[in-house]
Amino acid sequence: MPRFASLHASHLYAPPDRVEEPLRVAGFTPLSTTDFPGQLAAVVFVQGCAWRCRYCHNPEIQARLEPPLMPWQAVLNFLDRRQGLLDAVVFCGGEPTVDRSLGRAIDDVRQRGFKVGLHTAGIYPDRLRQLLPKIDWVGFDVKAPFADYAETTGVRDSGTPARQSLDYLLASGVEHEVRTTLHPSLLSSVNLASMATALRQQGVATFALQEFRAHGCSDTLLEPMPPPLDDAGIDHLQKLFPTFILRRAS
């Protein structure tokens, strides 16, 4: 039974932040070559997430109750010194769209000439839809078949907003990658196959499968296990999606 399956998302995080509050930065990576394909990017980890995925690698930043790690202005000061050296800024988390200041933070970044990437699980469809026109690339997490989301996220009905968000993303024309973390306790080979077929039918063309990594995961019941994926399963996914990426755990 998922640990928080009886909870609704609104029970899991602090009251809404005031609109005028700056972006709550929970972590910062000055240079990444892997978070936005083909771009040299700084990565901003935004504090807070309404879900509690069992394999979450950043459980320490799920709450919005801690003081931010650094002021947003300090990030901007860094970016001012990196103009011409960096291509982009990626916002991840946590769930970056939880922060109502994300739109203004994106504006700050674009005004400095950087592209914008976003990693999201699609928890807030309407916020994502409003942000998409100013985003250059999205990494979109799909946890499981949408009807089965609570098994992974611990939150009832969490697949509904995720599906809506994916629809908005696909309709927007913004470049993206849809990706799924694979652990045999959470996603069987049968469910993976049916989920992949449904995603392709929904319009997903670029799909990445990421094998579970134990590093950073706080759920000790989620032992590293061989992924439920044989050569035939990989072959099926390669044929299904125009672009298929397999990210091995090691």
| Span 93-132, contacts to ligand SF4 by CB under 6 A | 93-95, 121
**Residue 182 zone, left/alpha/beta (φ > 0; ψ -120 to 50; rest):** beta
Q: Which stretch binds ligand SF4 (CB under 6 A): 4-12, 53-61, 71-79, 169-177?
A: 53-61
Structure tokens at 231: 């050569």
- Taking the complex as a whole, the smallest distance from the CB of residue 84 to ligand SF4 amounts, in Å, to 32
Is residue 51 near ligand SF4 by the rule CB under 6 A?
yes
Q: Using alpha carbons, select from 132, 46, 36 the residue that is nearest to residue 87.
A: 36
Q: Using alpha carbons, select from 51, 57, 43 the residue that is nearest to residue 9.
A: 51
Q: Locate tokens 């078949």: which residue? A: 145
- Taking the complex as a whole, the smallest distance from the CB of residue 141 to ligand SF4 amounts, in Å, to 6
Candidates 26, 43, 53, 174; binder of ligand SF4 (CB under 6 A) is: 53
Q: Which stretch binds ligand SF4 (CB under 6 A): 46-54, 67-75, 131-139, 240-248?
A: 46-54
- Closest to ligand SF4 by CB, 78 vs 168, is 168
Is residue 49 near ligand SF4 by the rule CB under 6 A?
yes
Residue 235 host element (H or E): helix 231-240
Amino acid found at 42: A
Size of the site for ligand SF4 (CB under 6 A): 11
- Closest to ligand SF4 by CB, 46 vs 86, is 46
Q: Which stretch binds ligand SF4 (CB under 6 A): 4-12, 52-60, 110-118, 220-228?
A: 52-60
Task: Please give the Cα distance from 44 to 39 (Å, whole number).
Answer: 15
How is residue 20 annotated by DSSP?
A: T
CB neighbour burial string for 12-30, b if at least 16 within 10 angstroms, e if fewer: bbeeebeeeebbbbbbeee
Is residue 58 near ligand SF4 by the rule CB under 6 A?
yes
| Span 150-179, contacts to ligand SF4 by CB under 6 A | none
- Taking the complex as a whole, the smallest distance from the CB of residue 97 to ligand SF4 amounts, in Å, to 11
The two beta strands, 137-141 and 206-211, are unpaired
- Closest to ligand SF4 by CB, 54 vs 236, is 54
